Structure formats: structure tokens, C-alpha cells
Amino acid sequence: MNIIETYIKGLLIIEPRIFSDDRGYFYESYNKSKFTEAGIPVDFIQDNQSFSHKGAVRGLHGQANPFAQGKLVRVISGRALDVALDIRKDSPTFGKHFSVELSGDNKLQLWIPAGFLHGFSTLEDNTIFTYKVNNYYDKASEIGVLWNDPALGIDWGVAPEDALLSPKDEILPDFKSFTSPF
């Protein structure tokens, strides 16, 4: 397992070591001791999975304390552009985002600690996205920002008129109106 630091402190790309042969492949998607060695001491308590059609945009979402979540995300099949937005007020990268393509082919994962909003857009039909989280979901703790806020400059790889959104995601505040709890 190779852990790659991004330009945003705490946000890490996890590149698994893949063992392939004539039967297919095998890889270890999570190893607690390797994560702890890399400075990610996390206890996952819930796994979530979504299925999306091409052009779906989910995000930008998060949860405030005491239900803030760290997430380990990956795509099982299909392709998604994954986006994490730093909302830690004291961070030098506050308001900056990082994006990476996750796919069933590249098998990359992204570790997103608490203090970030998260979202993704699906680049193929039948995309299965999975999240390991270290805290339970709490509806009253939901926070978020409008996915296509021009002030953020996020290229989702999906034309705005083609984006498939939930009603909740269409009415999130812009970043200027958002007050970070971190």
C-alpha cells in the first residue's frame, strides 16, 4: 500500500498493491496497522455504498461535530471524480479543493479527514461508490455547500445542465454564506 500526500494537509491518496494473475486480482483495501503507521489512527464504524448513473453529482456534504466524519472512499466499478473541500478555518488551504478520479480500474482510494466537505460526480453509468466512515450519520449535523458555486472553481467533469442532483443539493448555500464549524 502506497500512501500519497496531496497539497492539502491530511488529505491522502491510498494506492493499493494489486496482485494480478490469470484468475483476476486481489488487493488489500484497508489495513489498520498500515493506516496507523501512516498517521491515520482511525476506527471505522460504518460502510456506505451508492449506485449512480452517469452525470450524478453528490455533494458537497459533511457533518458538524460531534458527528463529523473521516471517510475512506473508493469506486468499486465505474468512474467518479471525487472532490474534497477544506473547511478548516485555521488551515492554509481553507476554501481550497482537491479532486482525483477514482475508478474500478485504478483502485485508488482517498482518505478525507473530518474538516472537509465531500462530493463526487459520476463519469460512467453504473458507478458503485463506497465509503468507510468513522462516525455515525446524524441528520441534524448535516452541513454543505452548493456544488457549482463559481467561487470554488470546481470542474466536476459534468456540464451543469447535465448534472443529476438531489433536491437537497440544489438548495445548499454558496461558500460565501457558509459558516464552517471547524
Is 97 a known active-site residue? no
Is 61 a known active-site residue? yes
Please pick, among 7, 53, 131, 136, the residue that the annotation labels catalytic: 131
Please pick, among 30, 61, 97, 137, the residue that the annotation labels catalytic: 61
- The DSSP result for the chain, as a single string, is -EEEE-SSTT-EEEE--EEEETTEEEE-S--HHHHHHTT------EEEEEEE-TTBEEEEEEE-TTS---EEEEEEESEEEEEEEE--TTSTTTT-EEEEEEETTT--EEEE-SSEEEEEEESSTTEEEEEEESS---GGGEEE--TT-TTT----SS-GGG-B--HHHHTPPPGGG-----
Catalytic residue ranges: 61, 131
